[in-house]
Amino acid sequence: MNERFDDPRDDPLCFRSVDELAAGYRAGTFSPIEVTDAMYARIARINPRLVAYYELATPAAFAAARASEARHRARAALGALDGVPVSIKDHIDVAGMTSPRGLSLAGVARSTHDSPVTARLREAGAIILGKTTMPELSVIPVTHTRAFGITRNPCDTSRSPGGSSGGAAAAVAAGLCTLAIGSDGGGSIRLPAAFTGIAGHKPTLGRVPYYPGQTDRTVAGPLARSVRDCAHAMNAIARPDGRDWMELPPDGTDYVAATIGGTLAGLRIAWSPSYGYQHVDVQVARCVETAVARMANAGAQVTRIESICRDPFRAYMIQAGLRLRAARRSGDEPVAVASMLDFAAGITADDVQYLQDERNRLGADLLAVFASQDVLISPTAPIAAPAIGEFYPDGDTLGEANRNLIGFTCPVNLVHMPAISVDCGRTPAGLPVGVQIAGPKFSDARLLAVAHVIEAMQS
């Protein structure tokens, strides 16, 4: 039976926003301990069905809640995130917890340190509830693993929340945390956000320090039920750490302030329904087209561009495969995982040169768009959330070419640019549809501001 777990009326306290939690704590209406207790009670009821979390940090979370409550009583809160429950994706380290990368927990050591995002959230007083699921080695865009099972979509449990930050998105959408930290190397924050009807921001490479395991495409970023909550998270995590050699110097941006009083009037929007190579489901296309029409009615200057760039999927696969060449194989991997590992093993020097050439071409193509346009709008994904057991890596089961789940999302990863996905409507079956807003490097605040306005148009 299909079930839904995304209704705020079920447990209103678990669906409070960051601002609502902060106001409640200040007023003494409820406390961080009460909120943490409500979250864990909801996790106990719902997580066995969704499999959003694979490991909880219950004793440490309640200790953090008690400390937060004491600060609030003393009127010494550390900021907006003090007492806010958050989750952290599997492969992002939390001291004392495991990071198995979707694999078995057998023999996996517990992390001895916090990753940069974890450390910044602790410093802000956030309460880390646990670690969320991801697909094995993060190589497929849905969250199914042999170790932990199938992660399901709270909007419709017959559907996947996508991947690889599938557990993170499911936890947020189901009210099992207020904020989630995911990672995005080709769409792994934005796809799950689109499939579950929430917001997910992929920052400019280096804006949010990432350690260990830095790559030339993967970033950590927030998922939340609102763009403003994503902005609150960015204010905490987009701060220097010192362990990431690619991190950018702090620029003093207040991402929450950027979302206040925004307007689309005069904004130059490039609107591309297919990027020139994607095949988009008709129902998804209609939702996004309606959202674009609203943007135009709100004063945006919309320019339709049919072709943005050449399909970068092969280049993306080469870049993604390079980090998998040394992966240990068990011999019984799922077909999709084994296929990716086989591809990685066959990468040649010529492939690496092709990757470099295509990235240069792609960067030039996108910069040409942004020379005359402020943002680039497209669907986040060509379909709504796929059914459990199905996914479309580079062509769907109906034989329709170019319905690539990451076709809209992976280009910006290859050239270090930011993008955000925000909900823009529902299909006739009630499945969420996301619209992606992309921009040039360092335009994170603008993207959050635009997404905040688009989000408000849906309510």
HEC letters along 89-158: ECCCCCCCCECCCCCCCCCCCECCCCCHHHHHHHHCCCEEEEEECCCHHHCCCCCEECCCEECCECCECC
Q: Which of 31, 68, 89, 272 does the annotation list as catalytic? A: 89
Confidence of residue 351 (pLDDT cuts 50, 70, 90): very high
The rounded distance, in Å, linking the Cα atoms of 170 and 130 is 13
Q: What is the pLDDT of residue 334?
A: 80
**Parallel, antiparallel, or unpaired for β 432-438 and 419-426?**
antiparallel
Q: Which of 68, 111, 160, 164 does the annotation list as catalytic? A: 164
Same domain, 203 and 279: no
Question: Residue 80: pLDDT above 50?
Answer: yes
The rounded distance, in Å, linking the Cα atoms of 101 and 89 is 9
Same domain, 325 and 202: no
CB 135 within 8 A of CB 143: yes
Question: Residue 138: pLDDT above 90?
Answer: no
Q: What is the pLDDT of residue 399?
A: 40
Residue 2 lies in a domain: no
Helix (H, G, I), strand (E, B) or coil at 180: strand
Q: What is the pLDDT of residue 394?
A: 40
Same domain, 169 and 280: no
Instruction: Determine the average pLDDT of the residues in 159-178.
Output: 98
Is 104 an annotated catalytic residue?
no
Same domain, 327 and 409: yes
Instruction: Determine the average pLDDT of the residues in 368-385.
Output: 97
> Which of 220, 253, 286 is at the close of a domain?
253
Confidence of residue 164 (pLDDT cuts 50, 70, 90): very high
The rounded distance, in Å, linking the Cα atoms of 459 and 457 is 6
Same domain, 207 and 316: no
Residue 5 lies in a domain: no
Confidence of residue 398 (pLDDT cuts 50, 70, 90): very low
Q: What is the pLDDT of residue 241?
A: 97
The rounded distance, in Å, linking the Cα atoms of 49 and 227 is 27
Task: Name the residue type at position 30.
Answer: F
Residue 24 lies in a domain: yes
Question: Residue 401: pLDDT above 50?
Answer: no
Q: What is the mean pLDDT of the chain?
A: 94
Give per-residue pLDDT as tens, 184-219. Answer: 999 999 999 999 999 999 999 999 999 998 889 999
pTM of the model: 0.97
Residue 32 lies in a domain: yes
Give per-residue pLDDT as tens, 221-275. Answer: 999 999 999 999 999 999 999 999 999 999 999 999 999 998 999 999 999 999 9
Question: Residue 367: pLDDT above 60?
Answer: yes
Confidence of residue 395 (pLDDT cuts 50, 70, 90): very low
> Which of 223, 253, 283 is at the close of a domain?
253
- Of all residues in the chain, the percent with pLDDT exceeding 90 is 88
Q: What is the pLDDT of residue 261?
A: 92
Residue 391: closest CA among 403, 378, 407, 379: 403
The rounded distance, in Å, linking the Cα atoms of 268 and 305 is 12
Same domain, 452 and 360: yes
**Residue 42 CB neighbours (<10 A):** 20
The rounded distance, in Å, linking the Cα atoms of 225 and 21 is 14
Is 115 an annotated catalytic residue?
no
Confidence of residue 397 (pLDDT cuts 50, 70, 90): very low
Residue 3 lies in a domain: no
CB 53 within 8 A of CB 43: yes
Give per-residue pLDDT as tens, 417-442. Answer: 999 999 999 999 999 999 999 999 99
- Domain range for 364: 268-458
Same domain, 67 and 123: yes
Number of domains in the chain: 2
Same domain, 352 and 401: yes
Same domain, 245 and 103: yes
Is 111 an annotated catalytic residue?
no
Question: Residue 396: pLDDT above 90?
Answer: no
Instruction: Determine the average pLDDT of the residues in 57-86.
Output: 98
**Parallel, antiparallel, or unpaired for β 53-56 and 85-89?**
unpaired
Task: Name the residue type at position 315.
Answer: A
> Which of 192, 223, 253 is at the close of a domain?
253
Give 403 or 69, the one with higher predicted confidence: 69
Helix (H, G, I), strand (E, B) or coil at 184: strand
Least confident of 55-64, 217-226, 320-329: 320-329
The CATH code of the domain that includes 177 is 3.90.1300.10
Same domain, 249 and 332: no
Q: Which of 68, 188, 226, 421 does the annotation list as catalytic? A: 188
